[in-house]
Amino acid sequence: MSKVNVAILGSGNIGTDLLYKLKRSEVLEPRWMVGVDPASEGLARARALGLETTDRGVEGLLPAVEIDGIAIAFDATSAYVHAQNAAPLTARGVRIVDLTPAALGPLVVPPVNLDEHLGTGATNVNMVTCGGQATIPIVYAVSRVQSVRFGEIVATVASKSAGPGTRRNIDEFTRTTAHAIEALGGARQGKAIIIINPAEPPLIMRDTVHCLTDAPPDRDRITRSIAAMIAEVQRYVPGYRLVNGPVFDGDRVSVYLEVEGLGDYLPKYAGNLDIMTAAAVRTAETWARQVQRLPAAAAGGGLSP
Amino acid sequence: MTKILVHDMTLRDGMHPKRHQMTLDQMRTVAQGLDAAGVPLIEVTHGDGLGGSSVNYGFPAHPDEEYLGAVIPLMRRAKVSALLLPGIGTVDHLRMAHDLGVHTIRVATHCTEADVAEQHICLSRKLGLDTVGFLMMAHMASPERLVREARLMESYGAHCVYVTDSAGHMLPADVTARISALRDALQPDTEIGFHGHHNLAMGVANSVAAVEAGARRIDAAAAGLGAGAGNTPMEVLVAVCARMGIETGVDLFRISDVAEDLVVPMMDHPIRIDRDSLILGYAGVYSSFLLFAKRAEAKYGIPAREILLELGRRGMVGGQEDMIEDAALTLARVRGAA
């Protein structure tokens, strides 16, 4: 079966890591990488791997959408640029997986709510934050067993894996993640904390999830639910691991995780970046499999919105 | 005569040994005592700053809004400050503190990560607040690295940059090297501050070294009420400064009465260098980890000082309280298997 053609907007670290993952995909074919700097190393690397590139931003991609049948675009630029990228692509029937903090479309954490959005025909989905991708599955794993009045996560990332965008907009991380802990994770109130640790050699991403339940926690069911969820996340992030817990202490359930990346382009300690790109690819692959089940004509020139 | 500004920590760093459970009355009474003693600036918030209320750091008896709202209107001369750690609190908390009338915002980051403070320092300046950058765990960065980070904070608009000895690990020579480097590198009108912990009994000596190297803001707490073995004891600092001809504007008898009559009776445990807080200073570990490590010892049977040493070995920084239970569980598992 023919693969679904995709484009990557953004030729930085995230865009390049996406490219490496997409080259392995059985259902997605990376065709274009979009940048803004003719001298970009990322664009040169993409060309060497056989992709078409443009340094004229989304404008440079638009003519190719129809010619090359680009059905899905990954946006790894910035929240500001995403706002400009989204409309012309959506108008041409391209579905967007947004890795920026723009969050114009619904938030998606694959094992929690991807199925839900497949049916709704959402054309632009947002990947929340790295800490959200790593922790919200666990909040959800507890809240699907019993009600959670307070969900809190602590994400610790290596200093070298926190780029200038994250640093300048650290409040975006805490706000968006806290919101998603409620909206997707199912906690009545959410709190998110991010710590940047400069240790050398760099520490693998750590994530801690604390849930406070309304009734005393049902230990067996919660433990089973969390184990099942971890296995689910490991299908696309093999280095997603339980380090300790679940700890049950009164109404508190705490889970201590680490996320090691695949080391495709980004170093292995940068599990925070890997889980974002892996979740984005998983989302797009799920979309693509839907397309492949449609008649060939409908899959030819992009997805119908 | 050298004049310094002493900045009181009793009602913020002192929240750590109180597990953030101070009552509004205790806040009001101590703040009024400090005000009457001539302390010019008093910090009030959760121990981990605005927005610190959490499972990870502890839920306080009252939200920051209530503490700030209780203290600020009662101050006759003293001003009130609030601490903010980006990653824990946000600009929304900063605006709330501004609306309640705080005079100073202190934006705290790990000593090598100043660039996460840009939006908060910029906003604080824009709101017209006295704005301080607070470089925590400063023993973990060389003087040269600290200068780079301090320059960033200065460039965002900080009026003052602190060398913060969160672990109480520094010795006077370490303080001298860092404060001198900052004093040489920053604009003459940018102030330098020092925040000490008493884990190696160096709180006062380090503060004196800081003043001699050019620091003009010094943090201290009545009776030393603060994380670990406490902060630099304010009443001792005031007496030492008086002997050295350094002007603090604080009345020695009144501040020692605040310490003795109000703060010591509030203590849940004596603030002293016990075997665990000593290890904080010795191994360079964040002082507010102390009570968490003691609780983990009680629950998992691993001595607190061994947990603290492990956290130091792993390079944990401020705010990583979650890693205390994690480290205790891992140590317990390894020993159980051995």
A190-205 residue pLDDT tens: 999 999 999 999 999 9
Specify the amino acid at residue B168. G
Q: Would you state the pLDDT for residue B97?
A: 98
Q: Would you state the pLDDT for residue A121?
A: 74
Our CA angle for B151, B155, B161, nearest 5°, is: 55
The three state secondary structure string of B48-72 is CCCCCCECCCECCCCCHHHHHHHHH
What is the rounded (10 degree) CA torsion for A19, A24, A28, A31? 40
C-beta of residue B19 within 8 angstroms of C-beta of residue A156: no
Q: With an 8 Å Cβ cutoff, are B112 and A198 in contact?
A: yes
Cβ under 8 Å to A: B residues 90-129: 90-92, 110, 112-113, 115-116, 118-119
| CA-to-CA separations, A221 to A149, A193, A246, in angstroms, rounded | 18, 27, 11
pTM for the predicted model, two decimal places: 0.94
Q: With an 8 Å Cβ cutoff, are A170 and B110 in contact?
A: no
Report the Cα–Cα distance between both ends of chain A, in Å, rounded. 22
The DSSP symbol for B138 reads G
C-beta of residue B46 within 8 angstroms of C-beta of residue B85: no
Return the number of other C-beta atoms located less than 10 Å from residue A13's C-beta: 18
Q: With an 8 Å Cβ cutoff, are B329 and A191 in contact?
A: no
Q: Is A211 a catalytic residue?
A: no
- Say which of A154, A175, A196 has its CB closest to residue B322: A154
Query: For residue A269, what are its two tokens?
Result: 């300690």
* Backbone phi, psi, residue A34, to 5°: -115, 125
C-beta of residue A222 within 8 angstroms of C-beta of residue A259: no
Q: What is the mean pLDDT of each run of 10 residues along chain B (338 residues)?
A: 96 98 98 98 98 98 98 98 98 98 98 98 98 98 98 98 98 98 98 98 98 98 98 98 98 98 98 98 98 98 97 96 98 86
Q: CB within 8 A of B50, min separation 6: which ones?
A: B64, B82, B83, B84, B88, B89, B93, B94, B96, B97
Q: Does any CB of chain A come closer than 8 Å to the CB of residue B267?
A: no
Q: With an 8 Å Cβ cutoff, are A244 and B315 in contact?
A: no
- Say which of A200, A206, A210 has its CB closest to residue B56: A210
Specify the amino acid at residue B10. T
Question: Could you tell me which of A17, A29, A5 has the C-alpha nearest to residue A272?
Answer: A17
CA distance A41 to A239: 28
What's the ipTM? Answer: 0.96
Query: For residue A158, what are its two tokens?
Result: 């290596």
Q: With an 8 Å Cβ cutoff, are B315 and A245 in contact?
A: no
Residues of A with CB under 8 A from a CB of B: 150, 152, 154, 156, 159, 164, 167-171, 173-175, 191, 193-200, 203, 206, 208, 210, 212, 243-245, 247, 252, 254, 256
State the average pLDDT over residues A62-75. Answer: 96
CA distance A6 to A22: 9
Nearest residue of chain B to residue A174 (CA atoms):
B87
Q: Would you state the pLDDT for residue A305?
A: 35
Reported as a pLDDT band with limits 50, 70 and 90, residue A302 is very low
Nearest residue of chain A to residue B52 (CA atoms):
A193
Which element (helix H / strand E) includes A189?
strand A187-197
Q: Would you state the pLDDT for residue A2?
A: 86
Q: A130, A181, A203, A262: which one is catalytic?
A: A130
Q: Would you state the pLDDT for residue A297?
A: 40
Query: For residue A220, what are its two tokens?
Result: 């067996």
Average pLDDT, chain A: 92
Nearest residue of chain A to residue B319 (CA atoms):
A195
Question: Could you tell me which of B243, B327, B288 has the C-alpha nearest to residue B1?
Answer: B243
**Model confidence at A303: pLDDT above 90:** no
Q: Would you state the pLDDT for residue A299?
A: 41
Query: For residue A252, what are its two tokens?
Result: 């508190």
Q: Would you state the pLDDT for residue B338?
A: 61
The model's pLDDT over A154-181, given as tens digits with 9 standing for 90+, comes to 999 999 999 888 898 899 999 999 999 9
- Say which of A150, A164, A197 has its CB closest to residue B315: A197
Q: Mutate one of B55, B115, B118 to test the A interface: name it (highest A CB count within 10 A).
A: B55
Looking up tokens 């990228």 gives A85
CA distance B194 to B209: 10
β-strand partners of B323: none
Q: Would you state the pLDDT for residue B337?
A: 72
Burial of B36 (0-12, 13-18, 19+ CB in 10 A): middle
Question: Could you tell me which of B243, B338, B331, B327 has the C-alpha nearest to residue B285?
Answer: B327
- Say which of A152, A196, A256 has its CB closest to residue B116: A196
| DSSP calls for A190-247 | EEEEEEEE--SSPPPEEEEEEEEESSPP-HHHHHHHHHHHHHHHHTT-TTEEEEEEEE
Nearest residue of chain A to residue B88 (CA atoms):
A193
Q: With an 8 Å Cβ cutoff, are B87 and A195 in contact?
A: yes
